[in-house]
Amino acid sequence: MKVPRYLVPNDYMADPSVHVFNGKLFIYPSHDWESGIPENDNGDHFNMKDYHVYSMDNVENGNITDHGVVLRTEDIPWAGRQLWDCDVAYRNRKYYMYFPLKDKNDIFRIGVAISDKPEGPFVPNPDPIKGSYSIDPAVWKENDEYYMYFGGIWGGQLQRYRNNKALESAIFPEGDELALCPKVARLQENMFEFAEEPRDIFILDENGIPLKAGDTERRFFEASWMHKYQEKYYFSYSTGDTHLICYAIGDNPYGPFTYQGVILTPVVGWTTHHAIVEFNKKWYLFHHDCVPSEGKTWLRSLKVVELEYEENGKIKTIEGRI
Ligand code: FUB
């Protein structure tokens, strides 16, 4: 399947996280809707209030099952607003959904909800993960350890923190200053807490120098994802205001990662977001765009396309506007 295909034509779904559980592909998207909130740089117009889960036996034939609503803000005791990009991990016969949500003080935290089945429904813990902040959790399993990648600038609030502590007010590095780093933290065995202080992830240029804040076509903005190919760790992310999905390669889950190139050129819409997964011996890029909503940035539609590697492990760039 070399041409991207829309997966859920009857609803607006975005920010896919995708995993293979029990031999099926499970998709965990954000659920966009028309809330009427005006667009701003804070992302208030992304006012999502529930999640659905989707599954597929076969990506090529496009058949997809909607498992319905699996978690809502009204079920989450600490909820303020805005359920953004979630992810799900499996451990010891339980499925853990990690979701970013603003608390009652309008601060993004990361919550956990549990299910016995990959399709949910998910029951939320009464409190968010201690010490969690910002958005876009993505969980990677390595042997018996689980690592959560997270972070996002602007509406994702990462600029309000340094060394995992809240600042009095946001500070954006500029120009030649080091770009804000995405974070990673190993999870405790119970999957409910961080097992360590979140660490910075360094994305290096071709000379081994961490990317600068002014390097907006390459520096991290949001939407972390991790996958492994030929024993290398591929950390991929969105550059936000320059609208690219890029990737960087490293030798272990903590990095550092060296910048490699663009996976997806800008799509129609403002945000871009993705998941990369191998299923039935093919690699796929799941992503979203705003073509069906005629460019309304807050009404995004889920897409999938095959992803290919060069022999040297480089990912072939995919055009976002086809
Ligand atoms: O859906 C809200 C936000 O938009 C996500 O958390 C970001 O990754 C961007 O896609």
User: By C-alpha distance, which of 166, 277, 150, 276 is closest to 222?
Assistant: 150
Task: Catalytic residue, from 11, 15, 50, 145: name it.
Answer: 15
Whose Cα sits closest to atom 3 in ligand 1?
84
At residue 275, does pLDDT exceed 90?
A: yes
Q: Looking at residue 77, which CATH number applies to its domain?
A: 2.115.10.20
> What six digits make up the tokens of 101?
């949500």
The pLDDT score that the predictor gives to residue 3 is 87
Question: How far is the C-alpha of 59 from the C-alpha of 74, rounded, in Å?
Answer: 33
The pLDDT of 220-226, averaged and rounded, is: 98
Q: Cα dihedral sign for 320, 280, 223, 253?
A: negative
At residue 164, does pLDDT exceed 80?
A: yes
At residue 230, does pLDDT exceed 80?
A: yes
Could you confirm whether 116 is annotated as catalytic?
Answer: no
179 found inside a domain: yes
213 found inside a domain: yes
The string of pLDDT tens digits covering residues 38-87 is 999 999 999 999 999 999 999 999 899 999 999 999 999 999 999 999 99
Task: Provide residues with CB under 6 Å of ligand 1.
Answer: 14-15, 30, 46, 84-85, 135-136, 152, 222-223, 271, 273
Which atom of ligand 1 is found nearest the CA of 155? 3
Question: How far is the C-alpha of 183 from the C-alpha of 199, rounded, in Å?
Answer: 5
List the domain range (segments joined by +) for residue 71: 5-307
Rounded to two decimals, the pTM is 0.98
315 found inside a domain: no
- Number of other residues whose CB lies within 10 A of the CB of residue 125: 16
Tell me the pLDDT band of 322, cut-offs 50, 70 and 90. Answer: confident
Whose Cα sits closest to atom 4 in ligand 1?
271
The pLDDT score that the predictor gives to residue 271 is 98
What phi, psi does 155 have (nearest 5°)?
A: -60, -20
What phi, psi does 160 have (nearest 5°)?
A: -90, 5
289 found inside a domain: yes
At residue 1, does pLDDT exceed 80?
A: no
Work out the mean pLDDT of the chain and round it to a whole number: 97
The string of pLDDT tens digits covering residues 242-255 is 999 999 999 999 99
322 found inside a domain: no
Q: How far is the CA of 95 from the centre of ligand 1 (A)?
A: 22
Residues of the chain with pLDDT > 90, as a percent, come to 98
Whose Cα sits closest to atom 9 in ligand 1?
271
312 found inside a domain: no
Which residues does 24 contact at the CB level (< 8 Å), separation at least 6? 55, 56, 57, 118
Whose Cα sits closest to atom 8 in ligand 1?
223
- Site to substitute for ligand 1 among 150, 271, 301, 302, most atoms within 8 A of C-beta: 271
The pLDDT score that the predictor gives to residue 177 is 98
- Number of other residues whose CB lies within 10 A of the CB of residue 39: 13
318 found inside a domain: no
Task: Catalytic residue, from 32, 85, 222, 289: name it.
Answer: 222
Could you confirm whether 15 is annotated as catalytic?
Answer: yes
The string of pLDDT tens digits covering residues 115-143 is 999 999 999 999 999 999 999 999 999 99
The pLDDT score that the predictor gives to residue 73 is 98
At residue 220, does pLDDT exceed 90?
A: yes
Beta pairing partners, 249: 234, 258
User: By C-alpha distance, which of 52, 59, 85 is closest to 5?
Assistant: 59
DSSP 238-290: E-GGG--EEEEEESSTT--EEEEEEEEPPPSSS---EEEEEETTEEEEEEEES
316 found inside a domain: no
- Site to substitute for ligand 1 among 12, 28, 273, most atoms within 8 A of C-beta: 273
The string of pLDDT tens digits covering residues 175-202 is 999 999 999 999 999 999 999 999 999 9
Tell me the pLDDT band of 2, cut-offs 50, 70 and 90. Answer: confident
Looking at the structure of the chain, the number of domains it has is: 1
